[in-house]
Structure 1
């Protein structure tokens, strides 16, 4: 419930995520993609998962959501999956 409400509350000022399904799809992309080095100093996306969640964290429901241990443990598991991918040969395509 908190996730849906946080997404709805962010919709007023951004369209980064519009549904739980879209959030999960974007997390899937993040976990199977290595971030590329961006020379543009004005580029603001340094950590893709943070970019995905930052708007939700700024809402009242998001603040409550990110205080729930089980939600944070689920995010931690996703981060570990991404870390395993980044440690693998599959992510080396972004290296020079």
Structure 2
């Protein structure tokens, strides 16, 4: 079981490395931005300003994509502009201090 302190630590890590994060060009991400009427930077602003340990859904999980990226995946649920955005996956390589 993941503790509140661990979740807060992951969120802090994500915020500290804000300049390194990019939005994946996956179709579902593009559609979500269009639905929200936001660009990627505005969406990241919403995430960084509003993400809380209470939004935690799952993690740490291993990356199971065909070309995995090092680090664990943490999943959060978030509402932006009063629209449920589903999940916000954050991938953090805590061993190598990379996003």
Scaled to the shorter chain, the TM-score interval is: under 0.3
- Structure with more of its chain in strand, by fraction: 2
Q: Under a length normalisation based on structure 2, what TM-score does the superposition of the two structures give? A: 0.26
- Structure with more of its chain in helix, by fraction: 1
Q: Under a length normalisation based on structure 1, what TM-score does the superposition of the two structures give? A: 0.26
Asked which structure has the greater RCO (Cα within 8 Å, sep 6+), the reply is: 1
When Rg is computed on C-alpha atoms for both structures, the one with the higher figure is 1
